[in-house]
Chain A
Amino acid sequence: MRAVKGLGIFVLGLVVEWLWSTSWTVFGLSPWLLLILTIAIASCEGPVARQCYGFFWGLFLDALGAHTFGAGALALTLVGYCVGVLRRQMDVSSPLSQVMVVAVVSLAYALFLGLAGLVFERRFLWGGWPLFIGGLLYNCIVAPPIFFVTRKALEP
């Protein structure tokens, strides 16, 4: 039952990510939903599950993209691992702390993808400041509701 629920959340995450990035964009911006979901799941799930979610969601992002196949999978696996390790040292129960964690991890995620491009494709993968700042702000705005919904969904 737990596996079925996990698979449902996984597929739902893919569908909502696709839907949001294609149909619900605001000024061409959409939040990095799978990143926020990975953080939210890592803050309440076990260590193996959070990395699995991160890896396979990351593969989805890589399959949709044309550059650095594997970078998204590695980045989200690391996000799942690191947030899981650090969750005992930080509080992610209040909306403010959730926004702060998402902001910091989003910065690190963008930097990681850029550097992966620099290492493996000889150029820093960068979408420009408006896209970066807009995406970051959007992530911070939608983070608390996504955390709330994810926690409700994962409740036994």
Chain B
Amino acid sequence: MNRENRVANYVLLVFGFFSIVLLSLPLTSKVRAFRAYAAYIYNPVPYYGSRGLLRMRELPSEVVRVIQADARNRQLEEELKQTALLRSEVESLRRENGRLAQALSLSTSAPGGLVWARVIERDPQNWHRSLIIDAGDQEGVAVSEPVLAAHAGRLGVVGRITEVGRHTAKVLLLTDDLSAVAAYLPKSQWEGLVQGQGSSRLKMNYLPVEAQMRIGDEVATSPTSATFPSDLLVGTVARVFERDPFLAFQTVEVAPAVHPGRLKEVLILHRKRKEAP
């Protein structure tokens, strides 16, 4: 018997003895510790193996997602280029407007920035009165700032800020009976005052008796509004009341452009008032 075979016999004895100890005394602390140690040594194989396998399986979908993201990125870059062009045009028009207003000694108002906020709470008793948003003093929101929301690709009037907290603010909705905004009918240029009624509809008062309106006509904020920028959508004419011979004006009912019950996000417009010299 050569030396290597003798060593092999010893190895067999050692491994055999060790295995029998493991088999015979499975509940002793030393065998349990060894078992835990073996699991600690061997467990990375299934653990990292399964993670690697998962990565391999997800690879095709990941590649598809990267390709789709790249295509979307290119599309957005194109859109961004067009937006940049539009922005420069808007900036140029704004400067021109400022110069003309200055020449005519008119006061101008320039938007000071926008803040998007999420609606986090509504008045539980009446959804048409007020709501709470998740932007406040820390985000630059101030009292009386106009609150807007996107509706069918256009900005519609929601209301105005009445209370400001650290990270929250209360919005008084246009449908509340304390709200009012100067508005006009862009089609006929007649001006009036839109007032809330505490319900889902608004009323537009003080329209001249000779004004002609139809159901579906748009109502927008007037350039004379102290709070809102002009030409923001307020709503559409929903009902034309019969003329009262004892009143010097007529009234229409307006369906608001942005329904308070559907609001998820709103836009707060910071306004810096710049008085022309």
Interface residues in chain A, defined as those with a beta carbon under 8 Å from any beta carbon in chain B = 11, 14-15, 18-19, 22-23, 46-48, 51-52, 55, 58-60, 62-64, 68-71, 73-74, 77-78, 81, 84, 116, 119-120
Q: Report A137 CB to chain B, min CB distance, Å.
A: 26
Q: For residue B26, which residues in chain A have a CB less than 8 angstroms away from its CB?
A: 69-70, 120
B214 at the interface (CB under 8 A from A): no
Query: In the complex where A64-B42, A74-B16, A116-B23 touch, is A19 in contact with B53 (Cβ < 8 A)?
Result: yes
Among B23, B31, B53, the residue within 8 A (CB) of A71 is: B23
Residue of A60, A68, A78 near B42 (CB, 8 A) is A60
* Closest A residue to B49 using CB positions: A18
A129 to chain B, nearest CB (A): 26
**What's the Cα separation between A136 and B268 when bound, in Å?**
74
Sample of 7 A–B contacts (CB below 8 Å): A48-B7, A51-B12, A59-B38, A73-B15, A73-B19, A77-B15, A81-B8
Chain A CB within 8 A of B64 CB: no
Chain B residue nearest to A81 (CB atoms) is B12
CA distance A73 to B31 in the complex (A): 14
A74 CA / B12 CA spacing, docked (Å): 9
A11 closest partner in B (C-beta)? B45
- Given the complex, which residues of A lie within 8 Å of B23, measured CB to CB? 68-71, 74, 116, 119-120
Give B12 Cβ to nearest chain A Cβ, in Å.
Answer: 5
Secondary structure of the B contact surface, majority rule: helix
Query: Within 8 Å CB of B31, what residues of A?
Result: 69
Other than A22-B46, A78-B12, give 5 A-B pairs with Cβ distance below 8 A. A48-B4, A70-B20, A77-B19, A84-B8, A116-B23
B35 contacts across to A, CB distance below 8 A: 63, 69
Q: A63 near B38 (CB under 8 angstroms)?
A: yes
Query: With A63-B35, A70-B21, A120-B24 in contact, is A18–B46 under 8 Å at CB?
Result: yes
Against A, the Cβ 8 Å flags (1 = close, 0 = not) of B1-43 are: 0001101100110011011111110100001000100110111
Output the residue of A11, A81, A119 with the most chain B CB within 10 A.
Answer: A81
Which 8 residue pairs across A and B have the least CB separation, nearest first?
A: A70-B22, A47-B8, A74-B19, A70-B23, A70-B19, A77-B15, A63-B42, A55-B15
Expressed in whole angstroms, the minimum distance between the Cβ of A96 and any Cβ of chain B is 28
